[in-house]
Amino acid sequence: MEQLEKAWAGRRVLVTGGLGFIGSNLARALVERSADVVLVDSLIPEYGGNLFNVAGIEDRVRVNISDVRDPHSLRHLVQDREVIFNLAGQTSHMDSMADPVTDLEINCVAQLRLLEVCRHHNPGVKIVFASTRQIYGKPDYLPVDEKHLLRPTDVNGINKMAGEWYHILYNNVYGLRSTALRLTNTFGPRMRVKDARQTFLGVWIRAAVEGRAFEVWGGEQLRDFTYVDDCVDALLAAADAKAVDGGIFNLGGDRVISLKDLADLVVAANGSGSYAIKSFPPERKKIDIGDYYATDAKFRQATGWRPRVPLDEALRRSIAFYRENLPHYL
Ligand SMILES: NC(=O)c1ccc[n+]([C@@H]2O[C@H](COP(=O)([O-])OP(=O)(O)OC[C@H]3O[C@@H](n4cnc5c(N)ncnc54)[C@H](O)[C@@H]3O)[C@@H](O)[C@H]2O)c1
């Protein structure tokens, strides 16, 4: 731990999407390690950004409320940074279908702009990009490895796929150092629980904490889940390991579980609660990917990372957080 803290102390870091769920948890980890942290976030209300996410560390980070679609602020933000965690994104699959051009602008065009600014003004920077399992679409085989065909089932998946590949292209052609992590369902404190834009698990946990029943659509689908602290560890490991430059890696979790069994774990972790199994709403069925779980052996091998928090403990920690802080997320 001491060694880790030393490695990050004073390092100049930018987190795009830094007031969001994963970005703010990462910011906390970086502050603990005494890094010099700048967060940029647009705080668009439908997305996961929330100023409360940095409560308690606000005087140890610099927060810049701006939009990564704005090329003028980007240069200023990027030019002296040693590491960029590029997490800003439109994350809702349904919103990407309702408003595909906004998704394109944020998840694709702004990503390309950021890379261009780095190429011209900070070519030595290391970038870790938060990609997504969504780009695989419906898996042909399980567990999904990085060689699996990419066949996104929604606009968000297509734009994230292009965003990911711009990062790899700029690594290969221009010598920026970038790594893409294909995150699976990530959850934990500071996720959006207001609605299902970020994850259905947020809605379940909110309902459990409020003493309401929640709905499980289908129930038999298999999934893997990453607890946010493990995701943060992976992002830090990706920034540090030279061996992962130019690489694309899956992240998974500590086990594979059906949604129905997950619902039972939520109820158990909450100490009470109930749910109803419902059939999938038709508009969601069209973009659903069925069973999905990944192998992240390639990333484990390259970095030594592995998930440390078991799923039931992760759910307990998340529920405890929302018991205390729910009003800030409604
Ligand atoms: N949470 C997951 O399960 C998951 C899974 C796969 C991939 N990811 C990826 O991880 C990244 C972080 O996701 P998250 O779960 O923390 O979501 P989030 O919505 O909480 O975080 C994204 C942040 O980006 C900000 N943002 C969006 N558009 C912006 C813009 N134009 N300019 C500046 N800031 C902008 C939002 O305000 C938000 O704070 C995203 O890129 C997402 O695609 C997340």
Number of Cβ within 10 Å of residue 101's Cβ equals 10
**Using CA atoms, how far apart are residues 211 and 276, in angstroms rounded to an integer?**
14
**Using CA atoms, how far apart are residues 48 and 278, in angstroms rounded to an integer?**
26
Q: What are phi and psi of 164, to 5 degrees?
A: -60, -45
Ligand 1 atom with the shortest distance to the CA of 24: 16
Ligand 1 atom with the shortest distance to the CA of 160: 43
Span 276-286, mean pLDDT? 82
> pLDDT category, 71, cuts 50, 70, 90?
confident
pLDDT score recorded for residue 45: 86
Cβ–Cβ < 8 Å for 279, 219: no
Residue 122's nearest CA partner among 83, 88, 161 is 83
Cβ–Cβ < 8 Å for 87, 23: yes
Domain limits for position 136: 2-329
Distance 201 CA to ligand 1 centre (A): 16
Residue 53's nearest CA partner among 216, 43, 136 is 43
pLDDT score recorded for residue 314: 98
Cβ–Cβ < 8 Å for 133, 182: yes
Q: Which of 15, 16, 19, 21 to mutate to test the pocket of ligand 1 (most atoms within 8 A of CB)?
A: 21
Span 100-123, mean pLDDT? 97
Q: What is the mean pLDDT of the chain?
A: 95
Q: What is the DSSP letter of 231?
A: H
Residues 144-185 pLDDT 10s: 999 999 999 999 999 999 999 999 999 999 999 999 999 999
Q: Which of 87, 113, 156 to mutate to test the pocket of ligand 1 (most atoms within 8 A of CB)?
A: 87
> pLDDT category, 282, cuts 50, 70, 90?
confident
pLDDT surpassing 60 at residue 120? yes
Ligand 1 atom with the shortest distance to the CA of 69: 31
Distance 19 CA to ligand 1 centre (A): 9
Distance 23 CA to ligand 1 centre (A): 8
Cβ–Cβ < 8 Å for 181, 234: yes
Q: Which of 30-39, 65-74, 215-224, 282-291 has the lowest mean pLDDT?
A: 282-291
Residues contacting ligand 1 via CB (< 6 Å) = 17, 19-23, 40-44, 47-49, 67-69, 87-91, 106, 110, 130, 132, 183, 185-186, 192, 198-199
Distance 89 CA to ligand 1 centre (A): 4
> pLDDT category, 197, cuts 50, 70, 90?
confident
Residues 33-56 pLDDT 10s: 999 999 999 999 888 899 999 999
pLDDT surpassing 70 at residue 4? no
Give, using CA atoms, the residue closest to atom 28 of ligand 1: 89
Residues 175-193 pLDDT 10s: 999 999 999 999 999 999 9
Percent of the chain's residues with pLDDT above 70: 98
Number of Cβ within 10 Å of residue 140's Cβ equals 10
Span 271-292, mean pLDDT? 86
Residues 246-256 pLDDT 10s: 999 999 998 99
Ligand 1 atom with the shortest distance to the CA of 86: 41
**Ordered alpha helix ranges (H), 9-154:** 21-32, 71-78, 93-98, 100-104, 110-121
The one-letter amino acid at 198: Q
Number of Cβ within 10 Å of residue 73's Cβ equals 16
pLDDT score recorded for residue 298: 98
pLDDT score recorded for residue 46: 86
Q: What is the CATH number of the domain that holds 121?
A: 3.40.50.720
Span 232-236, mean pLDDT? 98
Q: What are phi and psi of 261, to 5 degrees?
A: -65, -35
pLDDT score recorded for residue 20: 97
Whole-model pTM: value is 0.96
Q: Which residue has the tokens 């602290």?
A: 229
Cβ–Cβ < 8 Å for 271, 318: no
pLDDT score recorded for residue 3: 59
Percent of the chain's residues with pLDDT above 90: 88
**Sequence-distant contacts of 53-56: CB under 8 A, at least 24 apart:** 53/19, 53/20, 53/21, 53/23, 53/24, 53/190, 54/18, 54/19, 54/24, 54/27, 54/28, 55/328
pLDDT surpassing 70 at residue 5? no
Ligand 1 atom with the shortest distance to the CA of 22: 16
pLDDT surpassing 90 at residue 284? no
Give, using CA atoms, the residue closest to atom 25 of ligand 1: 17
> pLDDT category, 289, cuts 50, 70, 90?
confident
Distance 203 CA to ligand 1 centre (A): 17
pLDDT surpassing 80 at residue 307? yes
Q: Which of 22, 102, 135, 232 to mutate to test the pocket of ligand 1 (most atoms within 8 A of CB)?
A: 22
- What DSSP letter does each residue of 147-175 carry, written as one string? TSPP--SSHHHHHHHHHHHHHHHHHHHH-
Distance 272 CA to ligand 1 centre (A): 31
pLDDT score recorded for residue 281: 79
Distance 48 CA to ligand 1 centre (A): 7
In the chain, how many domains are there?
Answer: 1
